[in-house]
Amino acid sequence: MFKNYHDLLKRIKQIEPSLGKEERKEMLDVLDSGWYTEAKKTRRFENMFAKFVGCKYATAVTSGTTALYVGLKSLGVGKGDEVIVPDFTFVASANAIEMTGAKPILVDIESKTLNLDLSKLPNLVTKRTKAIMPVDMNGRSTNIIKLSEFAKKNNIFLIEDAAHAIGSYFNGKHLGNRSDVAAFSFSIPKIVTTGQGGMVITNNKKIYEKCLSVKDFGREFGSKIKTQTAFNHNTVGYNFKFTEFQAAIGIAQMNKLKKRIMQKKKIYKKYSEKLSNITGIDFIETNLKNTTIWSVEILLKSKKEKIRLMDYLDKRNIETRILFPPIHRMFAYKRSDSKFKITLDISERGLWLPSSTTLTEKQLELVCRTITEFFKSN
């Protein structure tokens, strides 16, 4: 009999947040302070995050999407520009580009990393190409050094969608540091969550100052602390400011981050050990030394088999989740299938397994055993 039998009776979520007494304590501090919009706790959270990823500057915003938008605007991306972005990503990547008035130029991915295919970039660059947006899909990086060299050679900015990338590195540097600007997300499924929220990072002071202006109504950098210039707005900006409540949760989450990274890697390793020998299941090759997987994905033989497995698990109280659909098949970005064969294949055959840091050993064993039973019975 399992020691935690009652844990096994409840539905196993594909992903869920983990908040506890530490988050509660930080939140109560905010309530007692009487100051709720971004202030001391937000600065502390930003500094904690910057120190963890190893960047010079970080500013917190309302979401991962707004982090991308603020980053794009800080680079001067706007109407008439083009930004190259992978077809295999969450729609927010393309939406943020559209929000600036620029045009997303979709590119297929590599099957080994699920990141943009570098070999296709030369044929996509035009005189209107202002930036390339690599997406660190599920914590894995493209060859960011090679991409950076290509971008510099062609006088193109790099804005990295690092929503999945907390705890992942390339050649010793945390992801996001080799791009002109990078955007992280703190939405509910992420390894660090503030409910909603995002972070823009950069190692360029001028870009950082532009980000601060865009997120705060276009206010002139540094003017807020001077009464006589507090309402100087030199450009169009918006209210993308953080709150002390979000920062409070973020601080508590950052204090747990190293332990959570270890747990994420342990979950991936367990799934790989238990399921990789099953005919009909493929894993994306992952170097756990450098990569922290957001959610463990597997690839099935076909879309039909994927749906059958998802139904089988769902009936046994185990949640899974489909991978992102191709951007080019969405109404707003409709394109022909012919140039996105890898994205189509991965999207149709892939699914995410339960991957929360709250997942117990017994629950993990149960998921693996249930998947094994599915393949034995088919």
Token duo for residue 81: 């520009």
Please, are residues 214 and 74 in contact by the beta-carbon 8 Å criterion?
A: yes
Is pLDDT at 20 greater than 60 in this prediction? yes
d(CA 272, CA 292): 14
Give the model's confidence band at 1: pLDDT under 50 very low, under 70 low, under 90 confident, else very high: very low
Q: In sequence order, which residues have a C-beta less than 8 Å from that of residue 157 and are 6 or more positions away?
A: 75, 77, 130, 131, 132, 151, 180, 181
In this predicted structure, the answer to whether residue 2 has a pLDDT above a threshold of 50 is: no
- In a 13 Å sphere around the CA of 125, the CA atoms on its Cβ side amount to 18
Q: Average pLDDT for residues 166-191, to the nearest whole number?
A: 97
Average pLDDT value for residue range 9-25: 93
The mean pLDDT value for 164-178 works out to 97
Confidence of residue 270 (pLDDT cuts 50, 70, 90): very high
Domain ranges for the chain, please list them.
Answer: 21-254, 257-376
Q: Is the pLDDT of residue 251 over 80?
A: yes
> In the predicted model, what is the mean pLDDT of residues 294-304?
97
Q: Who contacts 352 (Cβ-Cβ below 8 Å, separation ≥6)?
A: 14, 15, 295, 296, 297, 320, 321, 322, 323
Cα(265)–Cα(37) distance, integer angstroms = 35
What confidence tens digit (pLDDT) does each residue in 198-249 have?
999 999 999 999 999 999 998 876 655 555 666 777 788 889 999 999 999 9
Domain 21-254 falls under CATH 3.40.640.10: yes
Across the range 17-46, mean pLDDT stands at: 96
State residue 39 phi and psi, 5-degree precision: -155, -130
Paired sense of beta strands 103-107 and 129-132, if any: unpaired
Report whether pLDDT(128) > 50: yes
Nearest CA-CA partner of 163 in 122, 199, 118? 199
User: Is a pLDDT exceeding 90 seen at residue 3?
Assistant: no
Range 113-139 average pLDDT: 98
Q: Do domains 21-254 and 257-376 have the same CATH topology?
A: no
With a cut of 70, say whether residue 5 has pLDDT above it.
no
Structure confidence at residue 6 (pLDDT)? 43
Residue type, 63: S
Q: What is the CATH number of domain 257-376?
A: 3.90.1150.10
Q: What is the pLDDT of residues 40-98, one digit of tens each?
A: 999 999 999 999 999 999 999 999 999 999 999 999 999 999 999 999 999 999 999 99
Hey, what long-range contacts does 263-267 have (CB within 8 A, 24 or more apart)? 263/357, 264/167, 264/191, 264/292, 264/293, 264/294, 264/355, 264/357, 265/292, 265/293, 267/293, 267/296, 267/355, 267/357, 267/359, 267/364
Listed in sequence order, the residues at least 6 apart from 2 whose beta carbon sits closer than 8 Å to its beta carbon are 8, 362
Q: Which residue shows structure tokens 């039909």?
A: 304
